[in-house]
A and B are shown apart, each in its own frame.
Chain A
Amino acid sequence: MVTNQQDLIGRYFLEQAKLNASSRGDVDMEDDDAEALPTELNTINSSGGFVVVSTDKLSVQYTSVNLHGHDVGVIQANRPAPVKRLTYYFEMKVKNAGAKGQIAIGFTNESFKMRRQPGFSGIDWYNIGQYLVPFFDQYGTLRPIPGGTFDECFVVGQQNVEMEQLKQCFISELQELTSRWEQNSYGYHGDDGLLYRGQGKGEPFGPTFTTGDIVGGGINYASQEVFFTKNGVVVGTVYKDVKGPLFPTIAVHSQNEEVTVNFGKEPFLFDIKAYEAQERFKQQSMIEKISLPQNVSYGVVRSYLLHYGYEDTLNVFDMANNNSVPPITLPQENGFVEQDSTYALNQRKTLRQLIRSGQIDAAFGKLHEWYPQIVQDDQSPTCFLLHCQKFIELIRVGELENAVKYGRGELAKFLELEDYKELVKECVALLAYEEPSKSSVGHLLGDPQREVVADAVNAMVLSTNPNAKETQSCLHSQLEKLLRQLTACCLERRFLNGDQGEAFNLHRVLNSSKMGKH
């Protein structure tokens, strides 16, 4: 039983050592930056024939003379808006409002038919009587039924009240249903200042816009809203319930209309950074209002010091707390847990001190004296880590010959073993360099490596406590558990939100100058 637990603990720290090697930078940073951004207009799937796109693919001009509702010049961006961030934003400048100023800006998803402005669905509900009846085809797409109009379906030569009621009932059902199924776009239209959301009718939203105006469209992933701006001021927001990737989209419809799009190459008129800061601040103030139980932070810090064996710090900390005005009393933990944390406090402190100062032999000595069961099996992960560290220390002080001797004597046997050989190879690689600290395995000489070994020994000593209930309590301090829970909750929430929004990254939070990078 005991050896199993020891082994588990040992292996955990072996893993930590590997993690220490690989994650040099911030773990999630690259992930968030890797999303591709829209950079230009997509000339391939646009409704060709009505518009001319400039060579830099950032300007659009309506060349035709519009005759009806379907000769709209609609263009999407080449890529959808990235989602793993707080907001996304782009702008459009109206160079020329043309004959009718029927310009629209918005977002559409992949299933949007490039025939109408963003915000329109394929169905014009105003004219349902004359239009073809929609139905679901085998792919579940809503399409007009060929060859039969709505009225025909209901014609029997009988116009009567019940029939009319039936028809109305049917129309409203259809509208509701399909508005939900068809909703795949949002559009802010310049000629009437309305917001269109997939139904034929727009809603009052903002001012109209025309030549010279700069309008912007954005998505706020924190509040799950789509917002629009005119000349640097937000004009309105709408809840975003269209799922899936959203492409920035613009549309022009009357003669001579011309717009230029800005996907970020030029500075925006709207201060998006300030907007983001405002969002973060809003969230941060909401969080700040939450009340914590009395003195819980002190308790967390104290248990941290206890767990890792920082005895001197702990004593001074306790003294300061007792002397403060008024004295700070810590929340009483469950009696048992408290006792166990003080277990072998002095020994753990001593061992950590020895390891951190590179006196591995002395550490081994003490372990043999106090906790022989830990170093009994020379091939246990803990012993392995200690041996590696000894080797590293010898290299650090330049005793290369001794290092080689030691390596041959103690490390060589680990080369056979699958889990260990990686680290052995890395350690040995240190010999190859004149300046090992600058090499690719230089991290081994750093403090974090010593820290891992010290923490491993610390956990092993804790595990020898007959009262220790579970392995978990030896491995993780209370602070660590809380931080893990925080990260896991944030990530899960983001995941359930379709992976949208900023990820929580502890390293980034700790190293930023201001809290509120969330």
Chain B
Amino acid sequence: MSVTEQFSSVAGVQHQHHHRRGTFADHLFRPAAPPHAASTLAIFLRLKCCVAEAKEVGYGALYENSLITNEICENDHRLAHSLESLTVGVVGLKYRNRLVHPWGSAVGVGNCRVSSLITHGFEGAVLMSLFWIVLRQLADIEEAMATSRKVITKEEWEKKLNDVPIKKADMNKLVMNFLVTEGYVDAAEKFRQESGTEHIDLATITDRMAVKKAVQCGNVEDAIEKVNDLNPEILDTNPQLFFHLQQQRLIELIRNGKIEEALEFAQEELAPRGEENQSFLEELERTVALLAFEDVSNCPVGELLDISQRLKTASEVNAAILTSQSHEKDPKLPSLLKMLIWAQNQLDEKASYPRINDLSTAKLEDPAV
């Protein structure tokens, strides 16, 4: 069996001795190969056939058989380019007639006995070059496959979900944590009765909620008093909070039309703070600007009068109190929900799996194919 015949059998292709332009290529390339690693292996095998064939009839056939080159071009431009530069190099050289060496045993990917490919002289070098180039393509494909996404079916995923151990007690704790940090005093107490979940001393919550409510209703003076009753250090160690509370007081005075009082207050209490701190000064100026407008609801700083400003301040006070009591200022539940969104986004890069797109229904969507 000639070398070419040997290889044709490996490639699973019938060998034909016609070298007319087109026929050989046609025959070699007609069997359809799937567009994955297998096809690069097929190309490799075809290449070897070509070279083996060319050895018998001359390397010129490689160069001349542009159909083969084009076919290879379709799959990989780099490969074609390398091949082209090689064939140019080869054709420019004289070559000696040599006995054809058998390739040696099986051509597996990564399993190749290159030694057997290295015959004496540059035929070996050419072949080795071809070999390396093709192998390179395989390495690229391997890498692409490694980064391709794994597909997980709904059944597989549901099994994984079922394997996750979740304790009822942990979920109760999470809910209680939410109720407490958000200030649902009565609900927290009821939940304790109905579920048996413990919570921190509710009295501290009541006080905290009173402060929050006072700010939300615009009674800032009252709120400040309460905060100091609770813990005088809070405002001492939190100048920004204190400034915002004072600012809110100013806003309320302006809202109630007490212009004289407002100006006095601004000059005595807030201006000194503004001098110490640039951002305070800017805020102060913004607030005082409210006084310049007749129709406050339409002015550029009108948002300060909005209820959302009160809520912002209230929330700031709430957080400061919680921190001072060494509690976390944020409930854990929203963080966990954000983590879920983040975790799904991270996993999307590596796998296709059933997602939960709507948090309020927690419905599993089928994986994108």
Interface residues of A (CB under 8 A from B): 19, 23, 27, 133, 135-138, 140, 145, 148, 153-154, 156, 158, 160, 162-163, 165-166, 169-170, 173-174, 176-177, 180-181, 286-288, 290, 292-293, 296-297, 299-301, 304-305, 308, 310-313, 316-317, 319-320, 325-326, 331, 333-334, 337, 349, 352-353, 356, 447-448, 451-452, 455, 477-493, 496-497, 504, 506-507, 509-510, 513-515, 518
Tell me if A162 and B340 are in contact (CB < 8 A): no
Tell me if A320 and B332 are in contact (CB < 8 A): no
Q: Which residues of A contact B337 (CB under 8 A)?
A: 292, 296-297, 300, 482
Give the number of chain B interface residues (Cβ < 8 Å). Answer: 89
Q: Which residues of B contact A493 (CB under 8 A)?
A: 343, 346-347, 350
Interface residues of B (CB under 8 A from A): 82, 85-86, 88-90, 92-94, 110-115, 118, 121-122, 124-126, 128-129, 132-133, 135-136, 139, 150, 152, 157, 160-162, 164-171, 173-175, 177-179, 184, 186-187, 190-191, 193-196, 213, 216-217, 307, 311, 328, 330-344, 346-347, 350-351, 353, 356, 359-362, 364
Tell me if A287 and B338 are in contact (CB < 8 A): yes
Tell me if A479 and B171 are in contact (CB < 8 A): yes
- Could you list some 15 contacts between A and B, CB below 8 A? A145-B114, A145-B115, A165-B89, A166-B125, A170-B128, A297-B337, A325-B213, A325-B216, A325-B217, A484-B164, A486-B336, A487-B166, A488-B161, A489-B346, A510-B332
CB within 8 A of A487: which of B111, B164, B194, B359? Answer: B164
Q: Which residues of B contact A301 (CB under 8 A)?
A: 175, 178-179, 333
Closest to B88 in A: A162
B125 to A: closest C-beta gap in Å: 5
User: Knowing A148-B118, A169-B85 touch, does A297 contact B333 (C-beta < 8 A)?
Assistant: yes
Beyond contacts A292-B341, A312-B194, A486-B343: 11 other A-B pairs, Cβ-Cβ < 8 A, are A290-B341, A297-B337, A305-B191, A312-B190, A313-B194, A447-B169, A452-B168, A488-B157, A489-B346, A510-B177, A515-B332
Of B191, B194, B347, most buried by chain A (CB within 10 Å of CB) is B194
A310 to B190: give the CA distance in the assembly, Å.
9
A251 to B222: give the CA distance in the assembly, Å.
70
A451 to B166: give the CA distance in the assembly, Å.
13
Tell me if B129 and A510 are in contact (CB < 8 A): no
A473 to B86: give the CA distance in the assembly, Å.
66
B254 to A: closest C-beta gap in Å: 20
Q: Which residues of B contact A506 (CB under 8 A)?
A: 166, 170
Closest to A477 in B: B171
A174 to B235: give the CA distance in the assembly, Å.
69
Tell me if A293 and B359 are in contact (CB < 8 A): yes
A282 to B: closest C-beta gap in Å: 13
B51 to A: closest C-beta gap in Å: 15
A492 to B177: give the CA distance in the assembly, Å.
28
B122 to A: closest C-beta gap in Å: 6
User: Knowing A173-B133, A297-B333 touch, does A316 contact B190 (C-beta < 8 A)?
Assistant: yes
Q: Which residues of A contact B350 (CB under 8 A)?
A: 493, 496-497
Q: Which residues of A contact B351 (CB under 8 A)?
A: 492, 496
Tell me if B335 and A136 are in contact (CB < 8 A): no
Tell me if A136 and B110 are in contact (CB < 8 A): yes
A159 to B354: give the CA distance in the assembly, Å.
62
CB within 8 A of A448: which of B89, B90, B168? Answer: B168
Tell me if B132 and A509 are in contact (CB < 8 A): no
Closest to A243 in B: B146
Tell me if A317 and B184 are in contact (CB < 8 A): yes
A480 to B: closest C-beta gap in Å: 6
Q: Main SS of chain B's interface residues?
A: helix
A497 to B307: give the CA distance in the assembly, Å.
48
A272 to B: closest C-beta gap in Å: 24
**Which 9 residue pairs spanning A and B have beta carbons closest together?**
A162-B89, A135-B114, A489-B343, A481-B362, A313-B190, A486-B340, A317-B187, A140-B110, A313-B191
A334 to B: closest C-beta gap in Å: 6
Q: Which residues of B contact A163 (CB under 8 A)?
A: 89, 93, 122
Tell me if B125 and A153 are in contact (CB < 8 A): yes
Closest to A518 in B: B339
User: Knowing A177-B136, A356-B196 touch, does A485 contact B161 (C-beta < 8 A)?
Assistant: yes
A248 to B175: give the CA distance in the assembly, Å.
45
Tell me if A173 and B129 are in contact (CB < 8 A): yes
Closest to B119 in A: A153
Closest to B94 in A: A158
CB within 8 A of A165: which of B85, B125, B169, B334? Answer: B85
Tell me if B128 and A153 are in contact (CB < 8 A): yes
Closest to A288 in B: B338
A39 to B: closest C-beta gap in Å: 32
Q: Which residues of A contact B356 (CB under 8 A)?
A: 481-482, 485
Q: Which residues of B contact A485 (CB under 8 A)?
A: 161, 340, 344, 356, 362, 364
Closest to B308 in A: A326
Closest to A174 in B: B132
A352 to B194: give the CA distance in the assembly, Å.
8
CB within 8 A of A177: which of B125, B139, B187? Answer: B139
User: Knowing A156-B93, A176-B136, A313-B194 touch, does A19 contact B125 (C-beta < 8 A)?
Assistant: no
Tell me if B359 and A448 are in contact (CB < 8 A): no
User: Knowing A297-B334, A492-B353 touch, does A482 contact B175 (C-beta < 8 A)?
Assistant: no
A510 to B339: give the CA distance in the assembly, Å.
13
Tell me if A451 and B333 are in contact (CB < 8 A): no
A103 to B341: give the CA distance in the assembly, Å.
46
User: Knowing A485-B362, A493-B350, A510-B174 touch, does A138 contact B113 (C-beta < 8 A)?
Assistant: yes
User: Knowing A173-B136, A304-B171, A333-B361 touch, does A162 contact B187 (C-beta < 8 A)?
Assistant: no
Tell me if B89 and A166 are in contact (CB < 8 A): yes
User: Knowing A174-B132, A290-B338 touch, does A297 contact B161 (C-beta < 8 A)?
Assistant: no
